[in-house]
Structure 1
Amino acid sequence: MNSQIRRATAEDAAAISQVIIRSLRQSNAQDYLPEVIAQVEKSFTPEAVFALLSQRQVFVATLDHRVVATASLEGDVVRSVFVDPSHQAGGLGRQLMATIESVAIDAKIAVLRVPSSLTAEGFYSKLGFRKVRDEFHGAERTIVMERHLSMLADRG
């Protein structure tokens, strides 16, 4: 299959929403209560994703022109990194994060931050992110992580 990383367009909003909701229900549901998943899903309806496209730099990974993963950058914060469960562990998340890091380095961002789910903590750790603190929003635990990019930018 032919994969591509590109900027998301308005036409991608529904597909991005579907990828995120599938991932929440199948992957994140292993670490969070159903009511937490249901609450988070409300932030990723097609309409909500459409609105995010104007607030963040949103990227998608496609396989044969079908959206199967997404990630975004809002200032120095990585947001909404999701890979469809049927395509997880295939490198698409790493490819999206490499794109995000490249954009951040070009923007002279020295430290990338990510509010990680429990589910994704290991993924971000493998990419060099380190835990800074835990945050709790009701029953939802988020792990705030960061990665210093200044040394990477100096090499470029």
Structure 2
Amino acid sequence: MNAQEIILRPAQPTDARDLSIIHIAAIKALPATFYSPEELLAWRNNRDRPDNGNIFKLIKADNFWVAVIDNVITGFASYIDDELIALYVHPQYQGRGIGRNLVEHFCDRAREQGIDRVMTTASLYAEGFYSRLGFTAIARAPHYLSKGIIVPVTKMSKKLVA
């Protein structure tokens, strides 16, 4: 699939259910390699079914963007200034450049604001993905999930070139 078929647009309140579906499906598809089943359940906010609006409250960010292919929302990213807060692609669409497009969009927007370095907090599953996109690991850190569950994540950064 080439980049021309992936359309990025700002998320709208009516997208909330689709974003929740993607969030839950992406986490459910992960094996219990780095995190236990209980930790993965907490990561998806103890949900097996999507909700219709809480995703915008749960993932606190100023900017939400969705990736659309053939009128289907396939992934989303959210960010605040220089920090990528969340990136999820539905498992059925992974490996098609959607995540890469969303990250590049985030970096482009940061660059337009005069930001020369961006950050993200990567799950242990996503470290390799971000490394391939030029991010460097800074440190392991705790990530606080619901019900007091704490999991290790990796803080990562990327220097943006003009």
The reply to whether TM is greater than 0.5 is yes
More helix by share: 1
Q: Does the 8 A contact of 2:16 with 2:52 survive in 1? A: yes
Deviations 1:87-141 (A, max 9, x none): 1111111111111111111111121100000111000000000000001245411
Q: Does the 8 A contact of 1:10 with 1:53 survive in 2? A: no
Whether 1:60 aligns to 2:66 is yes
CA shift in 2, pair 1:148/1:28, >3 Å: farther
Taking only the aligned residue pairs, the percentage that are identical comes to: 28
> Counterpart in 2 of 1:18?
21
Aligned residue-pair number: 151
Q: Does the 8 A contact of 1:3 with 1:61 survive in 2? A: yes
Q: Distance in 1 between matches of 2:114 and 2:46?
A: 29
Gaps of 5+ in 2: 144-148
Whether 1:146 aligns to 2:157 is yes
Whether 1:128 aligns to 2:139 is no
Query: What is the root-mean-square deviation of aligned Cα atoms in Å?
Result: 2.1
1:29 Cα deviation (Å)?
4.3
CA shift in 2, pair 1:28/1:73, >3 Å: farther
TM-score, length of structure 2 as denominator length: 0.84
1:47 Cα deviation (Å)?
2.8
CA shift in 2, pair 1:46/1:28, >3 Å: farther
1:50 Cα deviation (Å)?
2.9
Q: Does the 8 A contact of 2:13 with 2:53 survive in 1? A: no
- 1:65 maps to amino acid: N
> Counterpart in 1 of 2:146?
none
Q: Does the 8 A contact of 1:9 with 1:53 survive in 2? A: no
